Amino acid sequence: MLLAVGAVLSGCASSDAQTPPALRPIPLTASEIAYVEQTAAVVYRRASVDRLAGLLFSDERGHGVCVRSPAGAGDTADYTLLVLQRRVVEDFISQADDDVLILRSAAEAAPCRRLGADPRLWVRAR
């Protein structure tokens, strides 16, 4: 499954290292913000974290959002791509329904790393 996701995600990354000027992340709901920030806190063991201001993509692949730690570190940060299988609309997600894909390898998180250079796209997690 990860192989298929990795192959699909590589298509969402541009070959250009610059951030596309037209990129406007899709806004997150309040529930999604809380979920993404809680997931990032677990992944990064409560270290300071930034998250992309919105979804990187929302299509047949799922709903992708980037997180990085340490917050504000840019090129030296560790990037993770979280792929939500569905939009989060409720404040509570049961453990059985928590099916986010956490993609941490350099290749899988490459779209996030490419966006890391533009501070306007990132927000500090609470």
Residue 74 has what pLDDT? Answer: 77
Comparing 21-30, 35-44, 52-61, which segment has the lowest mean pLDDT? 21-30
The reported pLDDT for the residue numbered 95 is: 62
Q: By C-alpha distance, which of 99, 4, 103 is closest to 56?
A: 103
- Mean pLDDT confidence for 36-50: 94
Q: Which residues contact 90 (CB under 8 A, 6 or more apart)?
A: 31
In this structure, which long-range contacts are made by residues 88-93, counting pairs with CB atoms below 8 Å and at least 24 apart in sequence?
Answer: 88/29, 88/31, 88/32, 88/35, 89/29, 89/31, 90/31, 91/31, 91/34, 93/35
62-84 confidence digits (pLDDT tens): 999 999 999 888 788 999 999 98
| pLDDT at 88 > cutoff 60 | yes
Write the pLDDT tens digit of every residue in 2-23: 333 333 344 444 434 444 444 6
What tens digit of pLDDT does each residue of 92-124 get?
666 656 678 999 999 999 999 999 989 999 999
Is the model more confident about 68 or about 90? 68
Q: Specify the pTM.
A: 0.76
Nearest residue to 87 via CA among 54, 111, 62: 62
Q: Are the C-beta atoms of residues 126 and 37 closer than 8 Å to each other?
A: yes
